[in-house]
């Protein structure tokens, strides 16, 4: 994982609530054994006509959306399935952060494990961002702040997740370093932990 310290980018605004993982990446694109090649799959049914032409009205297809690395979306983003492919597809689409007022739990966890920053902001900050599509924002992971113009707003990020983002560390290395404790736990009696 690459370290993530600061993201400065224009935004793409998708002002839809409850964006579910079936919209982010429809299940038919999950029939693969790879982590790659999901760029076209991102929001496939909202973004492309059946013949593959881009749907004109969709936010990600507008000219000003090209090259944007921050996606602003409505409440409860990423609800639905546990598919990490949703995060891989968003990253394949060039995004490094998603801003919403609330994230579904599994999506949030998956995002952090891949260095995609879930930026959870209050309603007022969200409203300002929604009203300013294409504006540049600055997301500071260390300070846990997002800035739009001169207005800075905090977002929650627990210390461990922040540490992993800033240092590009993945959780598996941390878990493997706890081998001694895991082995001790397994050695302790626990009759209900059969088979």
Partner 1 sequence: MEGRRTLLEKIWDAHLVSAESDDTPAVLYVDLHLVHEVTSPQAFADLRARGLRVRRPERTVATMDHAIPTRSGPDGRRAPAEGAAAEQVSALERNCRDFGVTLYPVGDDRQGIVHVIGPELGLTHPGSTIVCGDSHTSTHGAFGALAFGIGTSEVGHVLAAQCLLQREPKTFAAEFDGILPRGVTAKDLILALIARIGTGGATGHAVEYRGPAIRSLSMEERMTVCNMSIEAGARAGLVAPDDTTYTYLAGRPFAPAGEAWEAAVARWRTLPSDDGARFDRVERIDASSLAPMITWGTSPGMGIPVRGVVPEPDGDAGLEKALRYMGLEPGKPLLGRRIDVVFIGSCTNSRLSDLREAARVFRGRKVAPGVRALVVPGSEQVKREAEVEGLDRVFRAAGAEWREPGCSMCLAMNDDRLEPGQYAVSTSNRNFEGRQGPGGRTFLASPLTAAAAAVTGAIADPREVLR
- CA torsion 4-91-10-7 (nearest 10°) is 0
Nearest CB to partner 1, comparing residues 150 and 179: 179
Q: Which is nearer to partner 1, 52 or 194 (CB)?
A: 194
Would you say 11 or 110 has its CB closer to partner 1? 110
136 strand-pairing partners: 10
Q: Which is nearer to partner 1, 46 or 95 (CB)?
A: 46
The CB-of-73 to partner 1 minimum distance in angstroms stands at 12
Question: Taking the complex as a whole, how short is the minimal distance between the CB of residue 110 and partner 1, in angstroms?
Answer: 4
Strand order in the sheet with 6-14: 117-120, 97-100, 70-73, 6-14, 136-140, 145-148, 151-154
User: Which residue ranges make up the site for partner 1 (CB under 8 A)?
Assistant: 15-18, 20, 22-23, 26-28, 30-35, 45, 50, 74-76, 79-85, 87, 102, 104-106, 109-110, 113-114, 158-160, 163, 170-172, 174-176, 178-179, 181-182, 185-186, 190-195
């Amino acid at each position: 994982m690459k370290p993530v310290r600061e993201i400065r980018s224009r935004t793409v605004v998708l002002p839809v609530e409850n964006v579910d993982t079936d919209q982010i990446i429809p299940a038919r694109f999950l029939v693969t054994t790879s982590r790659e090649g999901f760029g076209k799959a991102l929001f496939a049914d909202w973004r492309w006509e059946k013949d593959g032409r881009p749907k004109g009205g969709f936010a990600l297809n507008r000219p000003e959306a090209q090259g944007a690395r921050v996606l602003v979306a409505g409440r409860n983003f990423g609800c639905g399935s546990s598919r990490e492919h949703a995060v891989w597809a968003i990253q394949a689409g060039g995004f490094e952060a998603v801003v919403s007022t609330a994230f579904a739990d599994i999506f949030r966890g998956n995002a952090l494990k891949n260095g995609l920053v879930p930026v959870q902001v209050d309603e007022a900050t969200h409203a300002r961002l929604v009203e300013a599509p294409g504006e540049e924002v600055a997301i500071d992971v260390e300070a846990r702040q997002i800035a739009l113009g001169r207005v800075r707003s905090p977002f929650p990020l627990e210390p461990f997740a922040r540490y992993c983002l800033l240092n590009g560390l993945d959780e598996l290395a941390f878990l493997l370093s706890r081998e001694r404790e895991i082995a001790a736990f397994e050695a302790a009696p626990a009759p209900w932990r059969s088979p």
